[in-house]
A and B are shown apart, each in its own frame.
Chain A
Amino acid sequence: MTIPQSIHTGTLTTTGNVLLKVDNIALGYGEGAAEKRIVDALSFDVGLGEFISIVGPSGVGKTTLLRGLSGLLKPKVGQVVVGGHVVSGPHPDIAVVFQDYSRSLMPWMSTRENVAFPLQGRGAGKAERNKEAEAALEAVGLGGQGDKYPWEMSGGMQQRVAIARALAYNAKVLLMDEPFASVDAQTRFDLEDLVIDLREKLGVTIILVTHDVDEAIYLADKVIVIAEKPATVVDVIETGFGTHRDQVATKADPRFQDARARILTRLRHND
């Protein structure tokens, strides 16, 4: 069975305005001969306002890729460019929602302080910080809960706080690393719809890394499939659902089913 090889050189992105360009990057740990290369020759473009999912099997190097995109890990080869600037370290245009919300939120800070903290780092005054934080909490459905501490909240609520913190930072690109991996199924659906909703309202560009094929297709405009060792792009699928999705209708859509079959086959093919 042959699978049509999609073009992932980037010049053909549907949205003309490229915000983030991943240009032939290689990522690894260690130096020289001892280097363990995790990601190699990986390229893709993200248009302004686009929602991209990066899907791949567990252990393929998704978290490494995310560290590379966010500037936490410097590429061995190639570069990541955001808004015309090469990413050489954590960048003000890139915010991250980490997988481990319970550990990435600071338990000694109230929810509001957690959300406002990156703004404090930027030198914003207290009144401004609190106003922005409250607005971000409102956007994720936690209005008026700023005085609570993270440990007084459920897992789903904590992840909303982490999303609010990334929103308040007001970056152009939101990177999400398996953000819904450790919540129950219903909470997961709620959070997925929250992200779709936020994207529609705020026009933020999102790159979501996940191992869940259904989630990848449901959320994204474009699914980038990574596989092999070292990891590279093996397929790119445009979902074409527009900005509005529905947990039942979208997942029953033939395009959803087709994309799903194509990705699963592709991933099995690469085992």
Chain B
Amino acid sequence: MTLEMQAPTPTAVKAGRVGSKVNWGLTLQRVLALIIILALWQVAVVVGLLPSITPGVIEVFGAIGAALTMPTFWAALGQTLTAATTGWLISCVVGVTLGLLIGTIRPLDRSTSVVVEFGRAFPTIALMPVVMLMLGATMTMEVTMVVLASVWPVLVQAILGSRRLDPAIVDTVQIFRIPRALWFRRVLLPSAMPFIATGIRISASISILAAVGVEVLTQVPGLGRLITLAQEAQRWDMAFAYLFFAGLFGWGIATLLAWGEKSLLAWNRQSDD
């Protein structure tokens, strides 16, 4: 995954807006690309290019169907999503608040820039043993890990977003003597929102990855735990099916957020022209 630390360009968003009618040609192309990839996979399995334990496409689809009827799967999915969502929401609130403060208070910005750069580049998963020691293999530990992994994109984007407040707006707010709290909520936050939205979207994907990753590596129940169990039982088809669901939910949330962003930040398309 690439962490592209910027807001989408207006032209890119505009191009997306044109597709409000269903673009059948594009849909067809996308389905075709998917079919080709699946076909290549199947061929690689049949020819023996991949290790013999790799399940074929049909087996995986069978396993996906089977998973849908298993109560344990739904319970695990619920646990993973709860942990991921909780961690993600905490990241959003903490990241946005801290980011806007850091971005607008010059001494704070200068003194924390190294910490922020460090945290952003830090392999969070390496912290897990420490967090495990402190909190045990619990939901709290999982949520903590999710926050540690997903807070950075929101934080960095909020800092960047708060720096781009237009000098003309700064003057306006001063002249009309807007109180600090109102300024924060009605001026700074919306002005930084196009940047923050990108951070929130990236952070949503990361939080799912982190939740599943923690579950794979520890005994915390959830989708990741099911994957480990399936591997231990040599049920590779099931392991792949669970992986598929982890990916599907990451993608689904990112798509949902991109859509929400487009309708909520309509003003941003025009303002940059």
Quick one: CB contact mask for A139-183 with B, threshold 8 Å, 1 for yes? 000000000010110000000000001000100000000000000
Q: Of A30-38, A117-125, A184-192, A195-203, which binds chain B? A: A117-125
Residue of A nearest to B168 (CB): A103
Q: What is the total number of residues of chain B having a CB less than 8 Å from a CB of chain A?
A: 21
Which of B171, B187, B268 has most A Cβ within 10 Å?
B171
Q: Of B64-72, B113-121, B172-180, which binds chain A? A: B172-180
A to B contact number (C-beta, < 8 Å): 63
List of B residues within 8 angstroms of A71 by Cβ: 175
Contact residues of B: prevailing secondary structure: helix
A104–B169 alpha-carbon span in the complex (Å): 5
A70–B176 alpha-carbon span in the complex (Å): 10
List of A residues within 8 angstroms of B182 by Cβ: 120-121
**Is A107 located at the chain interface by the 8 A CB criterion?**
yes
**Is A90 located at the chain interface by the 8 A CB criterion?**
yes
Cβ–Cβ contact A98 & B172, under 8 A: yes
How many interface residues does chain A have, given as a range? 20 to 34
List of B residues within 8 angstroms of A208 by Cβ: none
Quick one: CB contact mask for A76-104 with B, threshold 8 Å, 1 for yes? 00000000000000101011101010011
**Is B271 located at the chain interface by the 8 A CB criterion?**
yes
Residue of B nearest to A149 (CB): B267
Quick one: CB contact mask for A99-133 with B, threshold 8 Å, 1 for yes? 01001101111000000011011100000000000
Cβ–Cβ contact A121 & B168, under 8 A: no
Q: Name the contact of A72 in the complex, choosing from B166, B174, B178, B191 (C-beta under 8 A).
A: B174
**Is B9 located at the chain interface by the 8 A CB criterion?**
no
List of A residues within 8 angstroms of B174 by Cβ: 72, 90
Cβ–Cβ contact B176 & A117, under 8 A: yes
List of A residues within 8 angstroms of B110 by Cβ: none
Additional 11 contacts, C-beta under 8 A, given A121-B177, A149-B267: A92-B177, A103-B168, A107-B270, A107-B271, A108-B191, A117-B176, A120-B182, A120-B186, A121-B176, A121-B178, A121-B179
Shortest 8 CB-CB distances between A and B: which pairs?
A: A118-B176, A151-B270, A103-B168, A107-B271, A108-B190, A121-B178, A107-B267, A104-B168
Interface residues of B (CB under 8 A from A): 166, 168-169, 171-172, 174-179, 182, 186-187, 190-191, 193, 267-268, 270-271
